[in-house]
Amino acid sequence: MASSETTPLLGDAGTAGLTTGTNDEDGLPETRGTFARQLSALDGFALLISIVIGSGIFSSPGPVDANVPSPGAALLVWLLGGLLAWTGALTMAELGTAFPGEGGIQPYLTHIYGEVFGFLAAWSWIVAVMPATLAILSIVFVESVYSSLGVNDANPGITHKLFSLLVLVVVGTANSISTKTSTRLGSFFVLVKLLSIFLLIVAGLTVVFVYLGSHGKDLGGGDWHSKGWFDARDTVLPDGSKFDWGKAATWQMLGFYCTALYGALWAYSGWDKANYVAAELKNPSKQLPLSINTAIPTIIVCYVAANAVYYILLPWKVISITDAAAVTAVTNFLGKGVAYFATVLICLVVAGSALGNSFVAGRMTVAASNKRWLPRFLGTVGQIGPWRVSKGSEGEAANEAMDKGETPINALVLSTILSAIYILVGNMRVLLTFNGLGEYTFFFLTVLGSIILRWREPELRRPVKPFILIPIVFAVISGFVVVRGAIFAPVQACILLGIWGVGLIFYFARLYAFREVWHRE
């Protein structure tokens, strides 16, 4: 069994034989170890597809479109996001095969920069990234339902927030009742989301073929063939005002583009889990790069195509104000009857992502508690506060108990409370930027660290070693996006800095307390 002291918080939190890793958006648990070295490159391709493609493609197009001057620019942002994910996945594969068995960025950061960086990454995921992710998914669930009823509002009111809180509580409760139930639903949700994307693309192709075949009959939004895809147009902002792109300075434009990119990167979340696939490939050094270099381009094509379909099915002025583009597009194309069916599919996808992420948030918190990075009661399993509510053994390790179906209720309660705060004080678009800043700060540091290791530890065994320009490209782009994004969204950046500050205080207070105990002993 992997000890609690070596279990990576931002990757896996199970035993060596049954280690569960998930992505930030979908949260689909992936089993590794027991079936090691059994997968082919094709299996790796399919696994990466299932990890990365999630609910973001149905919800992010609105926030992306609202921050770019034209549909063509939006598609380029989606392309850039995919390229960033591609270079990042290859670099993460290098680290994952150089440090086998360590499934997340926390151990890499600890090795490269020291434990405090590993702690800060884990702290950020537990306090900021994962709760913000759950908040976004809860909001998207509710917005999808409202969109099917013809209500699109980029700045929803208190009713939307209350329903989002209800979804959040239901998800947390479901995971508190049974961990195994949520993990077993993973394959079903994968099929649902792939089916949804396929049907969406078919709808777009139908509109194009009907228009071309009937000499002008348009079943879509109309703008796709009457306006220039790269012509700047005024964007409708959440408060109802319009933004004139012709008056925007270059530096301001870059700020908008960085915000748009965070929306796209939300949909590509999961690329950093490429190293999970390596654990089960027969020949990782050859098959992992092949899996990445086929899966990520396939995802990029799907995402760019799906977004092009949104611009075909909808009037362009609608896209910037909706947070449920897929449901809105289907409603406009086929009417409310079919839209209700589409809403059910998409809500299932979102629910699956929320269940998976809630599952991961609980395990991350338990792992941090086991490392004594968080209070011990957060690492308990089958307890509410100090009171045991399950039939599990008192002395049983948390990881073993969770693999048997026990739930980290205290950790899930903490995650639910933090997520509820984010729902109440923010909206989806604010949270997307906040989430992106939190994630990509540490992704940047991790990939920068891989470049540093090329110089500091040249003899380190690297079964996967991409050309050095690949991590450099990621580091340069992600570094700029983080800095410019923080300047463009100072409130989110300051909140994140505050969270890191509290984390540092907690970390060094913990070290001081331990030193005092050791000194007395």
Amino acid 362: pLDDT: 86
DSSP track, 131-171: HHHHHHHHHHHHHHHHHHTT---SS--HHHHHHHHHHHHHH
Query: In this structure, are residues 59 and 140 in contact, taking their beta carbons and an 8 Å threshold?
Result: yes
C-alpha span between 505 and 308 (Å, rounded): 47
314 burial (CB, 10 Å; 0-12 / 13-18 / 19+) is buried
Tokens of 256: 């908008």
Query: In this structure, are residues 4 and 397 in contact, taking their beta carbons and an 8 Å threshold?
Result: yes
Q: Where are the domains of the chain?
A: 18-520
Q: Could you tell me which residues are beta bridge partners of residue 20?
A: 31
The neighbour count for residue 66, using CB atoms within 10 Å, is 24
* Closest listed residue to residue 473, CA positions, set 78, 84, 82, 80: 84
For 27-36, b where at least 16 C-beta lie within 10 A, e where not — what string? bbbbbbbeee
C-alpha span between 487 and 507 (Å, rounded): 27
H or E element in which residue 19 lies: strand 18-21
Tokens of 431: 């949270």
Amino acid 521: pLDDT: 52
Query: In this structure, are residues 435 and 470 in contact, taking their beta carbons and an 8 Å threshold?
Result: no
* Angstrom distances, CA of residue 49 to CA of 54, 270, 398: 9, 9, 31
Query: In this structure, are residues 183 and 20 in contact, taking their beta carbons and an 8 Å threshold?
Result: yes
Output DSSP code: residue 126.
I
C-alpha span between 131 and 35 (Å, rounded): 31
Question: What's the whole-model pTM score?
Answer: 0.85
* Closest listed residue to residue 417, CA positions, set 350, 372, 358: 358
* Closest listed residue to residue 411, CA positions, set 176, 250, 141: 176
Amino acid 217: pLDDT: 84
Query: In this structure, are residues 267 and 273 in contact, taking their beta carbons and an 8 Å threshold?
Result: no
Identity at 504, one-letter amino acid code: L
Tokens of 323: 């947070």
Identity at 5, one-letter amino acid code: E
Alpha helix positions (H), 214-324 = 223-226, 250-267, 274-278, 284-313, 316-319
Amino acid 339: pLDDT: 76
Amino acid 180: pLDDT: 54
Amino acid 14: pLDDT: 36
| CATH of the domain spanning 18-520 | 1.20.1740.10
Identity at 223, one-letter amino acid code: D
Tokens of 39: 């997968």
Strands 235-236 and 242-243: antiparallel
Amino acid 152: pLDDT: 67
H or E element in which residue 439 lies: helix 428-456
C-alpha span between 200 and 178 (Å, rounded): 33
23 burial (CB, 10 Å; 0-12 / 13-18 / 19+) is buried
C-alpha span between 21 and 29 (Å, rounded): 5
Query: In this structure, are residues 321 and 152 in contact, taking their beta carbons and an 8 Å threshold?
Result: yes
Half-sphere exposure of 50 (CA within 13 A, CB side): 22
* Closest listed residue to residue 86, CA positions, set 284, 307, 271: 271
Residue keyed to tokens 């639903």: 185
pLDDT by position in tens, the chain (length 521): 333 334 456 654 333 333 333 444 444 334 334 334 566 777 778 778 877 887 888 889 999 999 999 999 999 999 999 999 999 999 998 988 888 765 578 889 999 999 999 999 999 999 999 999 999 999 999 988 888 877 766 566 788 899 999 999 998 888 777 555 554 555 566 677 777 788 888 889 999 999 888 877 888 888 999 999 999 888 876 666 778 888 888 999 999 999 999 999 999 998 887 776 666 677 778 888 888 999 999 999 999 999 999 999 999 988 988 888 888 888 888 777 777 887 888 888 888 788 888 888 888 888 888 888 888 888 887 677 666 655 555 555 555 555 555 678 888 999 999 999 999 998 888 999 999 999 999 999 999 999 999 999 999 998 889 999 999 999 999 999 999 999 999 999 999 999 999 999 999 988 877 665 555 55
Amino acid 20: pLDDT: 37
Tokens of 347: 């809500």
**CA 306 to the chain's CA centroid:** 18
